[in-house]
Structure 1
Amino acid sequence: MGAEDELLEAVHDSHADALYRYVVRRTGDEEEARDVVQETLLRAWRHPEVLERSEESVRSWLFTVARNLVVDHLRSARRNREHSTASVPDRQEHDRTHAVLDSWLVADALLALSPDHRAVVVGAYYRGRSVAELATEHGIPPGTVKSRLHYGLRALRLALQEKGVTS
């Protein structure tokens, strides 16, 4: 062990506990305090000329470095965006597999309808159009829209039953 290492060890023994308490008071986080003290002592090791100063000067330098590290951490974007937690929150996400498969099944069954029936069923159930609106859109009387809707739904039910869907 060299003289610098012994000097650093002596600085650690003399100041690490006080630095730790200081940083805990500033951050309120024991883990962060350990990291800041470690980084402070690492910087002292990188600047051995600091360790050769008087005891008060070394202590002042260490506390200044620790304070600057705490301020940097508090200002960092990471601290502002990330929050630690003891447990990972559960995300309730519903399985949409059945809904997707059902929509494919209905879309395939709709292809089995005649174009006139399909247009009225899609207009009423997917686009939310009224009988009067559908009559105007397609240029047919409202009674014809009702009839196509009735027979279109009946044909859709049969197409779905052929695909194995039961009512």
Structure 2
Amino acid sequence: MDDDEERLTALYDLHAGVLRRYVTHLTGDGAGADDIVQETLLRAWRTPRILAQEPATTRAWMITVARHIVIDEVRSARHRHEHPVAELPERAGDDETDRLFDALLIEDALAGLDDGHRSVIVAAYYRGRSTAQVAAELGIPEGTVKSRMHYGLRALRLALQERGVTR
């Protein structure tokens, strides 16, 4: 095996599994996910500066690229299947694609947190509970709720950054 082939194999071994799971989660299509993973790895291979970075940085870049490819695929499929109609619809709806992918990305990042941090964040942000209500609901002191919230949000921020979400 030559050097290029070894580097490509190493790139695939390091990142393909994670990319495939992520894209399958986004699309629900395992066969389509393989195509997107292949395209993502090809783009990484064609960008030497990406390959020279730390594996975590390379993975974050590839997750962002894969997400953009998925978005492009969704948008192009929608465009190809448009049919002309005699009358315009009364009101055009907003494109919810970005919101949907953001929600999936956050869900995936939350799943990577430990149960204590995740339960506090979900109770406070998704259920609208106050610190006292979260403490009572989970049977833990308010100080623990605040601490878990602080460290949980920090871990969530890092998880999102690893997935290519930047401030």
Normalised by the length of structure 2, the TM-score is 0.47
- Highest relative contact order (Cα 8 Å, sep 6+), 1 or 2? 2
Larger radius of gyration: 1
